[in-house]
Amino acid sequence: GENVEQHPSTLSVQEGDSAVIKCTYSDSASNYFPWYKQELGKRPQLIIDIRSNVGEKKDQRIAVTLNKTAKHFSLHITETQPEDSAVYFCAASSGNTPLVFGKGTRLSVIA
């Protein structure tokens, strides 16, 4: 089955700097890669997703890149703000199987 590895487990950045979180997956059939943000005690919120027919997708300060050959995808947050502090989860799915989540990255943005 699918296995998703996520790095780093914790990340601290200064406000205004960029943050990058990387994930790798094992199943070449996976074609859907969402990213979720979870604040303490709250539900995961979908912040961006990418499908395998696209290499990059951007939404304001957030971007996701996908390298299907290498089976890895990354989340990029630019101009980080304190409210970006949360746990971020990547996930992968082939569409016929449930999402498999990474272990999460705890991002701290220091003002």
Partner 1 sequence: GAVVSQHPSWVICKSGTSVKIECRSLDFQATTMFWYRQFPKQSLMLMATSNEGSKATYEQGVEKDKFLINHASLTLSTLTVTSAHPEDSSFYICSASDDFKTQYFGPGTRLLVL
Binding status of residue 75 toward partner 1 by CB under 8 A? no
**98 Cβ contact list (under 8 Å, min separation 6):** none
Does residue 10 come out as left (phi exceeding 0), alpha (psi in the -120 to 50 range) or beta?
beta
Tell which one of 45, 56, 58, 59 touches partner 1 (CB under 8 A): 45
CA distance 16 to 96: 39
Binding status of residue 43 toward partner 1 by CB under 8 A? yes
Residue located via tokens 């303490």: 40
Distance of CA 53 to the CA centre of its chain: 17
Q: Smaller CB distance to partner 1: residue 32 or 72?
A: 32
Which range in 18-26, 28-36, 59-67, 77-85 contacts partner 1 by CB under 8 A? Answer: 28-36
What are the tokens at 70?
């290498």
Binding status of residue 44 toward partner 1 by CB under 8 A? yes
Which range in 13-21, 52-60, 74-82, 97-105 contacts partner 1 by CB under 8 A? Answer: 97-105
Residues that bind partner 1 (CB under 8 A): 32, 34, 36, 41-46, 49, 89, 93, 95-96, 98-104
